[in-house]
Amino acid sequence: MTGTAAAPQLDRTRRRAAVVQGIVAVLAGVMVALAFAPLRLWPLAIVGVALFTWLVRQGEPARPLRRGTRWGYLMGLGLFVPLVGWIDVLGWYVAVALCGFMAVWGLLLGWGTAAVRHLPAWPLLTAALWSLAEFLSSRIPFGGFGWMRLGFTTADMPLGGFLPWLGVGGVSFLVALSGTLLAWGMERLREPAPLRERLGRGLVPAGLVVAIAAAGLLAGLRPATPATGQQVAVGMVQGNVDGTAGSGAMGYARSVTNNHLSETIMLMAKARVGQTPLPEFVLWPENSTDVDPTRDRETHQLIGEAVLFAEVPIFVGSVMRGPGENERQTTGLWWHPDQGITGRYDKRNLVPFGEYIPLRETLLPLLPILEQVGAQAVPGDQPGVLDVPLNEGRLRIGDVVCFELAWDTTVYDTARHRAQLLVVQSNNATYTATGQPRQQFEITRVRAMELRRDIVVSTTSSFSGHIDPRGRVLDKTRESTAASATYLVDLRDGSTPAVTVGPWWEGIAAAIGALALLVGLTRELRRHRGGVGALE
């Protein structure tokens, strides 16, 4: 075959190889996505990271960064489209924008994996790049979107034992490291050597993964934070909301509040005939009233009737007007039957384009559809721990509201400020019958394991319940139903090392990843100047 005839054949071979590699990149992302709820196929988190790392490190020496960038973006699409595609209930264009942007973090991973491929200890450095991507995606832009960190796949994984020691950020790093070690083992198995020698070389990385998993099982033996010897009976109410309305699911403001009043009556009726314990307070979810009860007489009366009937405080999830004109806050109100509102927590981590419009003055004239967001939500500035009256004493209750579950600082603040009991108030009615409510419940399990605390969850319509300090689900409601229950929950003191170590671990791992990326790119630049074409 002449050189002229061989060139087209070579180009076709390369194109076919590129298509196959692109499919593998997407498949690697899908594998990682399947490790999250609702399927929770947790081994695929490690396998997906390994497959992607191995793919980026293969191929011709020329143009490694270009290949890594391409495969990284495709991996990102494979990860985020199935994982957060549920956002399409707000509009297909919202899903396209979010998934398209989030895939950029996959692009960063592919670029970085290619850049550090020749550095010593590359499995460690590549894992640090995953920490860097999670660190940045949880902060950029508009406060970030940290919903899909690898640590949130570990509720049933041996590595989940490290959660109370290293936090979600540290465990994410260990998941990534397990994957990059497997990729190292895959490479060693393909080295030119006798089979027995190759198997021996491959056993070293595999042994390290097994050792990390075994250490996780031992770490998971850490007990719950100390109990005070007191219990509190928490009445949980899930009033139910019509989820078929999509993004308008909370539009029936008074009916939503009426639903929670009705279910509170059911809860107390069961308790007063002895079917369940009498609750000492009742937990309503986020947005159990979408109307400010301090300004709307009818809503105030509905909640007042619920509190008087229950004869115990109700922790009401409300939307409050203010502090400024055309502004609002998502709030938890501790409503006492005798003293009225005695505690308030304002949600700190808000959903961009869901609760507020970033760059509002610029974007609103260009995109009038954003008017549907309504009044601009304003974040709170205080930790979610309330010191409230209960019975003849006081209770320090820690509150995390829905989207806030993904933010370490917000969750850790409940332990730092000595909460005795943790609750989650959530409204996910808009996402009924999607993966979002299941993902959120799984994140809550991880947070319970991390803080070694019980968590009681109340949602408007999807998966309320009680989770113990080891992440075990003691009770869980069904989706799209009205439900209520009373849980006897231990009050606890103290915190876990994760509260202190977790942020440092993630920050240091991210810094190592950034430094490795800089060093790797510098080396590639030198190679490029030498004529190899590495930066293409």
Residue 205 and residue 279 share a domain: no
Q: What is the CATH number of the domain that holds 473?
A: 3.60.110.10
Statement to judge: residues 460 and 511 lie in one domain: no
pLDDT, tens digit (0-9, with 9 covering 90-100), for 481-514: 999 999 999 999 999 999 999 999 999 999 999 9
Residues 201 and 103 in one domain: yes
Quick one: 231 and 216 in the same domain? Answer: no
Q: Residues 385-424, buried b or exposed e (16+ Cβ, 10 A)?
A: bbebbbeeeebbbbbbbbbbbbbbebbbbbbebebbbbbb
Cα–Cα distance for residue pair 513/188, rounded to 1 Å: 24
State whether 52 and 184 are in the same domain: yes
Which residue segment(s) compose the domain that 148 sits in? 19-222+499-529
Closest CA to 395 of 290, 280, 293: 280
Query: What's phi and psi for 71, nearest 5 deg?
Result: -70, -35
The pLDDT tens digits for 192-230 are 767 666 667 778 888 999 999 999 999 999 999 999 999
Residues 234 and 100 in one domain: no
CA distance 59 to 56: 8
pLDDT of residue 203: 83
Cα 501 from Cα 419, distance rounded (Å): 19
pLDDT of 248 > 70? The answer is no
- CA–CA separation, 442 and 101 (whole Å): 24
d(CA 386, CA 376): 25
In a domain, 441, yes or no: yes
In a domain, 14, yes or no: no
Q: Is the pLDDT of residue 65 over 70?
A: yes
pLDDT band for position 66 (50/70/90)?
Answer: confident
Please tell me the distance from the alpha carbon of residue 390 to that of residue 312, in angstroms, as a whole number.
8
pLDDT one-digit tens code per residue, 83-120: 999 988 878 888 898 999 999 999 999 999 999 999 99
pLDDT of residue 349: 93
**Interhelix angle 122-137/92-115, nearest 10 degrees:** 150
**pLDDT on residue 365:** 77
* 325 and 450 within one domain: yes
Q: How many domains does the chain have?
A: 2
Mean pLDDT of the chain: 90
The three-state secondary structure class of 237 is strand
Q: Is residue 76 part of a domain?
A: yes
Contact by Cβ (8 Å): 150, 130: yes
Residue 394 forms part of a structural domain:
yes
User: Burial code of 125-134, b = ≥16 C-beta within 10 A, e = fewer?
Assistant: bbbbbbbbbb
Position 321 in a domain? yes
Nearest to 450 by CA among 407, 411, 498: 498
Whole-angstrom CA distances from 217 to 157, 159, 211, 222, 348 are 9, 7, 10, 10, 34
Same domain, 295 and 185: no
- Which residues face 401 on adjacent strands? 425
Question: Who wins on pLDDT, 11 or 321?
Answer: 321
Closest CA to 259 of 289, 279, 283, 233: 289
pLDDT, residue 250, reads: 44
93, 235: one domain: no
148, 172: one domain? yes
Contact 419, 452 (CB under 8 A): no
The Cα–Cα gap between 47 and 45 comes to: 6
Both 186 and 294 in one domain: the answer is no
- The proportion of the chain whose per-residue pLDDT surpasses 70, expressed as a percent, equals 92
**Pair of tokens at residue 373:** 């967001």
How many residues does this entry show for the chain?
A: 536
Predicted local distance difference test score (pLDDT) of residue 247: 46
> What angle separates helix 497-529 from helix 408-416, to the nearest 10 degrees?
150
pLDDT attached to residue 190: 74
Same domain, 203 and 234: no
| Residue 116 identity | V
Percent of the chain with pLDDT strictly greater than 90: 72
